[in-house]
Amino acid sequence: MTFPLACPTPPATPDGAEPLPAFKPSRRHADLGPDFYDVVAPADFPAAILRYRNHAWARRVGLDDLSDEAWIAHFARFTPLPGSFERPLALRYHGHQFRSYNAYLGDGRGFLFAQAHDRRDGRLLDFGTKGSGTTPWSRGADGRLTLKGGVREVLATAMLEALGVETSKSFSLIETGEALERGDEPSPTRSAVLVRLSHSHLRIGTFQRFQFLEQPEAIARLVGYVVETYYPGIQDAEPAERAALFFEAMVARVARMGAQWMAAGFVHGVLNTDNINVTGESFDYGPWRFAHAHDPAFTAAYFDEWGLYSFGRQPEALFWNLSRLADCLLGLVPKERLEAGLKTFGPALQDAFAEAILFRLGVTPAQGEGEGAVHRLVGAFWAFLEKSRAPFEQVFFDWRGGLASEPRAARSPAGEHYASDAFRPVHTALQAMRPAANANLDHPYFAREKPCTMLIDEVEALWAPIAEADDWSALHAKLAEIEAMAGAYNTQALPPEA
């Protein structure tokens, strides 16, 4: 079950502020009150060099007409956007990190800078930062982001969005002129501040904080706010039913997120409860990886020694996190109802996974074929990927549109895999499929020999010329390649008027 997202009326532009006619601001998060955040000040950076601005999403939120100077003023100096917060808010939360509870979390190097409404669908968007300075939750750290970390997040979000994953968007990256000391990369290293768009920065850890503090009234208030803001379709239910429906909607959305990661060959790397937000949207990219091949044990974080968040265990991790949210709701919802909600995770994951595989392959059941044909294809396809260890992205690319692409697949660098016995069940299952209406097989992207990929060696190769010679041309070329892929998969951000 899915529910529509709310579109609260934005406040008027305050007197004296420079209006931005297409920008639809909001201060919605401030309605929660000071128990949920701390008002903070941004760092005063010695420099501000614009390295990336997301033109497509700037258009979606009505900020595409900003000059580079105005952009830097808002997203490096954090001059308030008219109609939104006068000062940034560092959000308070707790969370389980690798299943150990941490009561000292919170926005330690970021804050909620502003909120606005998407001009295309009206949904509320948060402008959250990373590397914007210290807050009460910095725990002795410097509150900064490395430039390399910012570049990696730009690449992760661009690639995931192109592959159809519900993800935050890297909105702005500005180099800030400081030399940072870091233990996990050559130091000193360059600094940056990132701004990302996300539909919410409230997370499971936000609920956990109030459970830890034994404040059930705050949990009830948080549920009411989240439902009113993000799930208005259930707002009129009585409180216990509303909380139960919210939980069930969260289960469905988080299952969809996990399914999309698996179909993209993506490993998030840090599936802590503070990294799961209330709209079921992927965000906060640290040691992420894309898998070269289907390997359930593949991990992203060097410190994940036990493979807790490995590729194949991501659904398990998400289920565990949802169980911690259920713990927080026990004062509002009967235990039996929460347990029933958790039991929907597996079926929801399977349905979302089948949908994601069909989307990636650009196929749909032929006339007269139904759900059974879909399940046969998904099962055969996934088993083939795991058994053959064929290049993950190449296989999806080669068989876009199903058997309509068989001649192209035969010429592929991975063609030998398709002549094997392991592939025969996939070929049989594809006979019950036809190209989807949006398969887009005539797009120039599908005339290539190899797909666009984002493996770790490619990321390092993109960073090397930046580090060595301040040469950004390879990164710009890669982002253009990802944009072409998004056009082929019909996942590019469309303008408001489209």
* Residues annotated as catalytic (active site), given as ranges: 274
Q: Are 53 and 489 in contact (CB under 8 A)?
A: no
Which H or E run includes 312?
none
Distances in whole angstroms, Cα of residue 226 to Cα of each of 163, 206, 219: 28, 11, 10
Give the CA angle between residues 378, 260, 267 to the nearest 5°. Answer: 110
Tell me how far the alpha carbon of residue 172 is from its chain's centroid.
16
- Please state, in angstroms and rounded to a whole number, the distance separating the CA atoms of residues 90 and 36: 9
Residue 448 has what DSSP assignment? S
Task: Report the sign of the C-alpha dihedral through residues 34, 37, 38, 42, in that order.
Answer: negative
- Please state, in angstroms and rounded to a whole number, the distance separating the CA atoms of residues 81 and 386: 49
Tokens 């996300």 correspond to 198
Identify the CA nearest to 193 among candidates 250, 251, 153, 220: 153
CA atoms within 13 A on the CB side of 196: 28
- Please state, in angstroms and rounded to a whole number, the distance separating the CA atoms of residues 496 and 498: 6
Concatenating the DSSP letter of every residue in 128-178 gives: EEESS---TT-TTS---EEHHHHHHHHHHHHHHHHTT--B-EEEEEEEEEE
Task: Identify the three-state secondary structure at position 181.
Answer: coil
- Please state, in angstroms and rounded to a whole number, the distance separating the CA atoms of residues 246 and 223: 8
Residue 119 CB neighbour total at 10 angstroms: 16
Task: Report the sign of the C-alpha dihedral through residues 454, 458, 459, 465, in that order.
Answer: negative
Question: Amino acid identity of 45?
Answer: F
